[in-house]
Amino acid sequence: MLTRNLEKAREAFKHRNPATSQLAHSHQPEEHKQEQGQHLKSIVYGGLDGIITTFAIVAGVAGAALSSGVVLILGFANLIADGLSMAIGDYTSTRAENQYFASERQRELWEVENYPDGEKQELLDLYINKGISPPDAEAIVALISKNKKAWVDIMMVEELGIIESSESPLKNALATFLSFVVLGFVPLAVFVLSYFIPWLKPNAFYFAVAMTGITLFGLGAFQSRFTGQNWLKSGTEIVLIGGIAAAAAFLIGFLLSGLAQA
């Protein structure tokens, strides 16, 4: 458990405000903020891939001048198949990272229990290489080695550069899938509505462009809450990324449109 409000600490750093930093360290952290941050990668990665790949299909079909029915068939197929694929990939990669950490920690624990002098020397060398004087480094190592758990935790970070993650593979997979499906549906929503609102059909692609752009910008702005980046810059960057992918898909669809008639 952190002993500071991480959200306030980030705000203090953003504005370089020592008074706010002091205030952040005098309060308990807001745990729900940490939980949101843990799944930020899955939410942003899944949502960004979902909306861009689905809109790329929409743009490609529009470039080839195919019917809205083709848009929906290809779009929904991508939405489910690619969403599941990404969720499974996120699940397996997160689980592999957790298993790797557990395996390495067990090895470090075994070494601490069976060859403590060697582990002490490794830690001593690490601190000396960081510029700490040998006497101070020896005093630090002597204190650390009194607590086996802390000793192993520090060796994981200092020697191996591995930080324990509390991420759940299942929660990450669900976050990726839901974000992919929900945001990936945005470019298709207008085409679905056009079957019930006929006047939308002739301009469905243009409405899809507008809705996709707004959603991409919103995703980038949401991301900025956790990265500390300016929300306008973050949102614009995401829109540009999506725009490049969509433009490429539209161009390919246009150039290969003749194949649809073959």
Give dist(CA 21, CA 24) in Å, integer: 5
Average pLDDT in the 245-252 region?
83
Give the per-residue pLDDT at 214. 92
CB 216 within 8 A of CB 239: yes
Determine the average pLDDT of the residues in 97-104: 88
- Tell whether the model's pLDDT for residue 141 goes beyond 50: yes
Q: Amino acid identity, residue 162?
A: I
Burial class (CB in 10 A: 0-12, 13-18, 19+), 188: buried
Is residue 226 exposed (0-12), middle (13-18) or buried (19+ Cβ within 10 Å)?
A: middle
Q: Average pLDDT for residues 177-204, to the nearest whole number? A: 90
**For the segment 199-244, what is each residue's pLDDT rounded down to a tens digit?**
888 888 889 899 999 998 988 888 777 667 788 888 898 889 888 8
**pLDDT tens digits along 25-53:** 565 544 444 445 556 777 878 888 888 88
In this structure, which amino acid lies at residue 190?
V
Q: Region 73-97: what's the mean pLDDT?
A: 90
pLDDT, residue 31, reads: 47
What pLDDT is stored for residue 47 in this prediction?
84
In percent, how much of the chain has pLDDT > 90? Answer: 13
Residue 236 identity (one-letter amino acid): T
Residue 54 above 50 pLDDT?
yes
Q: Which tops the pLDDT comparison, 14 or 185?
A: 185
What mean pLDDT is reported for the chain?
Answer: 82
Quick one: pLDDT band at residue 15, thresholds 50, 70, 90?
Answer: low
